Structure 1
Amino acid sequence: MNELRVVHNRKKGRITVGYLKKIPEGYLFEYDENYLKNNKKIFFAKSKGNKFINKKMFAFFKSRLPDEKRPDIQEILESYGLKEYDDFELLARTKGKIMTDNYEFEKMK
């Protein structure tokens, strides 16, 4: 299954924010109900509900990946065992970690 769990690592422990799925229509992000009940920081406005679908990778998640136009992108892909740029798979393999926050992505089994 093409699904990633979005986790926020905090001083109090890890909390599941939601789930990102690759679907035929593109991508689906769904907040975890417990996260919405207990947290104010959200990626998308809740006015539409807890599920969001987009044809392309959501900008918040895409920004966690190396730009596919980088001159050294092929080397980066090879270092993660990829032959071509696949934003979902690259997010899974890099875990989407960046220096400025404590979110990460875990592949669901």
Structure 2
Amino acid sequence: MELTIDTTADATIIRVQAARVDAPVALQFKEEMRRITHARTGRFVLDLAQVEFIDSSGLGAVVASMKQLRSGQTLDLAALQPIVAKVFRLTRMDSIFAIHDEADRAGVKDRS
């Protein structure tokens, strides 16, 4: 499981470089997210554009990543593929996370 990082003025964009976030990689994903978010502050956008499948373990790892954030940190999601978006809708996690169409646009706060 590889996570890459892009930094904008308004957010740290964490890109998941894997087709699946499921039981075999959930623990590694959670630990990598903890390492990244512990070393930085502010807003994080998790780019799931490459992720074609997420199971309950993967969903739990994303939720755990949000719950371990410190005060002043937030986690948004972006670029969900249709099957992944459906999992978030069915579990009502779409009401917990801000979900954006594109990670790069989510990484920029509206300045108007």
Q: TM-score, normalised by structure 1?
A: 0.29
Larger Rg: 1
* Structure ranking higher in strand proportion: 1
* Structure ranking higher in helix proportion: 2
